[in-house]
DNA sequence: ATAAGCCCCTGTGGGC
DNA sequence: TGCCCACAGGGGCTTA
């Protein structure tokens, strides 16, 4: 399941294959899933960036200097099972041909998407348009996060919305909440709780990027690099995919629950649900001004 | 406007 | 042992 660490690893690994190259063709079916790709034909890739879980190929006219601002972008979302490959396979959905050769987009479950858009024109991609700050950048500020967390609903769905911070998916939400000792369904985080979560997200994301992401199991969701290399962060997972195994911190068996349609792993001892204090509501008489 | 729910898609694993 | 169905999940869309 590519989340920020896996997408960032992908970006770093395929940038040397693509930067400076001319796109000769992008071949696929399902044009509604891979939109306006013909606009990229004949363009030069000046570089690759990433925003949350979205990969962005910068496209310039072939005669332009490579340090000029790009005017088109090829946006790629890997979805749940998407990834690039050096060789064609059973689940090849898109074939990207450059003057250096082929790169194949493999995506068994077809949740991945691509679109060519004018640079920064994200109106057709609401999540990207409303994307929160990058967790490893200075734009991600603890005081903003703490303030917004105080008024938020259940913390895990809130994180998954991409609005408080970008790039956190199911694995890293569970891992960050475990580190911060916060129940996934906790609402209205206190300042100490939100501060712990802020630091946990930064730590987990930094460690996961350094490990090359997580590669889980042998199923279709198993994330790999284009050359078959795997990430190693799964060895650091404390709760994700460890239902019934013992919490590394306190030894209690890890539990799994469903929250917002997502499998959610947590330690019931380390991450107790703090019951909302109702006294305020009683004191206010139950009606809001 | 915001939040919650449904849906897409298909390989896999668990249950019977 | 073999078969079948529920599950996995990000994000876009619809609904309340």
The reply to whether A72 and A25 lie within a common domain is yes
- Which residues constitute the domain of residue A213? 142-279
Question: Among A77, A100, A129, where does a domain finish?
Answer: A129
The reply to whether A114 and A146 lie within a common domain is no
| Selected catalytic residue, list A3, A6, A8, A175 | A3
A285 part of a folded domain = no
The reply to whether A151 and A248 lie within a common domain is yes
A261 part of a folded domain = yes
Side by side, the strands of the sheet bearing A54-60 are A34-35, A113-118, A72-77, A54-60, A44-51
Determine the nucleotide nearest to A220 by Cα–C1' distance: B11
The reply to whether A51 and A72 lie within a common domain is yes
The reply to whether A124 and A148 lie within a common domain is no
| Selected catalytic residue, list A44, A53, A93, A179 | A53
The reply to whether A24 and A90 lie within a common domain is yes
Catalytic, A50? Answer no
Question: Considering the entire predicted model, what is its pTM?
Answer: 0.91
Catalytic, A62? Answer no
Q: What is d(CA A156, CA A133) in angstroms, rounded to the nearest whole number?
A: 17
A134 part of a folded domain = no
Determine the nucleotide nearest to A52 by Cα–C1' distance: C10
The reply to whether A103 and A180 lie within a common domain is no
Question: Among A107, A129, A151, where does a domain finish?
Answer: A129
Catalytic, A192? Answer no
**Footprint of strand B, using CB within 7 A?**
A 91, 108-111, 152-154, 157, 161, 217-220, 260-261
The reply to whether A86 and A175 lie within a common domain is no
Q: 3-state DSSP helix/strand/coil percent for chain A, to nearest 5? A: 25, 20, 50
Tokens of A13: 């690994």
Tokens of A28: 């696929």
Name the residue among A28, A31, A64 with its Cα closest to residue A46.
Answer: A64
A125 part of a folded domain = yes
Q: What is d(CA A216, CA A248) in angstroms, rounded to the nearest whole number?
A: 19
Total count of domains within chain A = 2
**CATH number for A102:** 3.20.190.10
Name the residue among A191, A194, A178, A146 with its Cα closest to residue A249.
Answer: A178
**CATH number for A259:** 1.10.8.50
A288 part of a folded domain = no
The reply to whether A78 and A154 lie within a common domain is no
A126 CA – C14 C1', rounded, Å: 15
The H-assigned helical ranges of A151-259 are 155-160, 170-180, 191-210
pLDDT at A276: 63
The reply to whether A268 and A149 lie within a common domain is yes
Determine the nucleotide nearest to A168 by Cα–C1' distance: C10
Question: Along the 289 residues of chain A, how does pLDDT read in single tens digits?
Answer: 789 999 999 999 999 999 999 999 999 999 989 999 999 999 999 999 999 999 999 999 999 888 889 999 999 999 988 999 999 988 999 999 999 999 999 999 899 999 999 999 998 899 999 999 999 999 999 999 999 999 999 999 999 999 999 999 999 999 999 999 999 999 999 999 999 999 999 999 999 999 877 776 555 556 667 777 777 677 778 899 888 889 999 999 999 998 888 999 999 999 999 876 544 443 333 333 3
pLDDT at A220: 54
A287 part of a folded domain = no
| Selected catalytic residue, list A12, A163, A249, A262 | A262
pLDDT at A283: 36
A289 part of a folded domain = no
Catalytic, A184? Answer no
Determine the nucleotide nearest to A160 by Cα–C1' distance: C10
A44 part of a folded domain = yes
pLDDT at A221: 53
As ranges, strand C nucleotides with an atom below 7 A of a protein CB are: 7-13
The reply to whether A155 and A117 lie within a common domain is no
Question: Among A96, A129, A162, where does a domain finish?
Answer: A129
pLDDT at A274: 85
The reply to whether A259 and A155 lie within a common domain is yes
């Amino acid at each position: 399941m590519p989340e920020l660490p896996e997408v960032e690893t992908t970006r770093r690994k395929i940038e040397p294959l693509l930067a400076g190259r001319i796109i000769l063709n992008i071949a696929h079916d399902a044009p509604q899933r891979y939109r306006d790709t013909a606009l990229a034909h004949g363009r030069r890739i000046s570089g690759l960036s990433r925003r949350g879980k979205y990969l962005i190929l910068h496209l310039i006219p072939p005669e332009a200097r490579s340090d000029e601002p790009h005017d088109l972008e090829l946006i790629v979302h890997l979805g749940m099972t998407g990834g690039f490959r050096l060789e064609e396979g059973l689940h090849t959905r898109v074939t990207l041909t450059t003057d250096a050769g082929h790169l194949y987009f493999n995506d068994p479950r077809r949740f991945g998407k691509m679109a060519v858009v004018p640079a920064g024109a994200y109106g057709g991609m609401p999540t990207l348009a409303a994307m929160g700050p990058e967790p490893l950048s200075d734009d991600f500020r603890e005081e903003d996060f703490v303030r917004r967390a105080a008024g938020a609903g259940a913390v895990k769905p809130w994180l998954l919305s991409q609005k408080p911070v970008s790039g956190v998916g199911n694995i890293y939400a569970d891992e960050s909440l475990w580190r911060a000792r916060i129940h996934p369904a906790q609402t209205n985080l206190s300042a100490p709780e939100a501060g712990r979560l802020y630091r946990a997200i930064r730590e987990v994301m930094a460690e996961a990027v350094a490990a090359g992401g997580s590669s889980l199991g042998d199923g279709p969701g198993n994330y790999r690099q284009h050359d078959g290399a795997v990430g190693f962060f799964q060895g650091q997972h404390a709760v994700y995919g460890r239902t019934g195994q013992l919490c590394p911190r306190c030894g209690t068996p890890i539990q799994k629950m469903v929250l917002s349609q997502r499998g959610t792993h947590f330690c019931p001892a380390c991450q107790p649900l703090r019951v909302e204090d109702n006294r305020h509501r009683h004191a206010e008489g139950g009606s809001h001004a």
